[in-house]
Amino acid sequence: MNQTWHGELEMIVVDDCSDDNTKEIISQLKDPRIRYIESQKRAGAAAARNTGVAASTGDWIAFIDSDTIWYPEKLAKQVGAIQQRTSDTYSLTYCRLRKQKHEESGWENHPQRVYSGLVYEKLLFDNFIDTPSVLMKRETFEAVGGFDPRLPRFQDWDLFLRVSQQNSVLGMEEVLFDSLTLAGAISSNDRARLEALLIIHSKYLSDISKNSDLASRFLAKIVNAYLIVDQPDAAAAFLRTNSRSHTLALSFLVKTARLLPKGMYRRLWDIVR
């Protein structure tokens, strides 16, 4: 509500069965631009965002989460960036952010590189678009079907992959918000990460398979995700099924992980990371 942009604005708060005082706080904000929607059954972040978009009336949409602090000029600068580029058509713009590395620790800017245009292939290699960084056309969101509620993580990555398959995006170098590290966040759930990676791999397998470097990258990501949750046998099975050639390094990694005490690979991975 502190945004410097003075155009029409609506804020839709979707309460996905929270156990705090969200409802009480929202009821105290006497602002006709705010609409509060209370879910009767917890459905997850993807479904909650889809609910919010369905209830909205604007032509452009943006997302702000509980771990996000937008700078006051965030929307104004993104709207301005879109309006200045009258010769180009962009369905989505995103900005850089300042990320808290650990609680009570330092900060770093993300992403390291910002891309514009048709970025689908680059986005397959790495998700460099953060959900609260985005301002996008509502019609584009609806055309690609919104967020996929099957995904326990990486719903944003999947959405932006589908958007970027057919649409140009505009990347902004400027940092326009802070992203905090909160305890209990879904981004710290290792099993959710594994499940989501498997779904993403399956959905985009035909394009992933066209690039050997990309295929190897996904292979390493998923094998590592299996090992983090202490499933070396599943990692080995996935490696056998999906590797086109004998991957010595990953095979050695899986064999080594089998010899480690339960939970040791996860602890070692934290140290390395």
Mean pLDDT by 10 residues, the chain (273 residues): 90 91 90 92 90 94 92 96 83 93 77 95 95 96 95 95 95 95 68 95 95 92 94 92 75 88 88 78
Cβ burial of 255 (10 Å; 0-12, 13-18, 19+) is: exposed
pLDDT of res. 126: 92
pLDDT of res. 181: 75
Residue closest to 158 by CA, chosen among 190, 198, 187, 118: 198
Residue closest to 41 by CA, chosen among 16, 22, 5, 71: 16
- The answer to whether 136 and 92 have CB atoms below 8 angstroms apart is yes
Ranges of each domain in the chain: 11-179, 189-272
Q: pTM value?
A: 0.89
Strand partners, 94: 171
pLDDT of res. 87: 64
pLDDT of res. 105: 64
CATH code linked to domain 11-179: 3.90.550.10
- State both tokens at 112: 């390291």
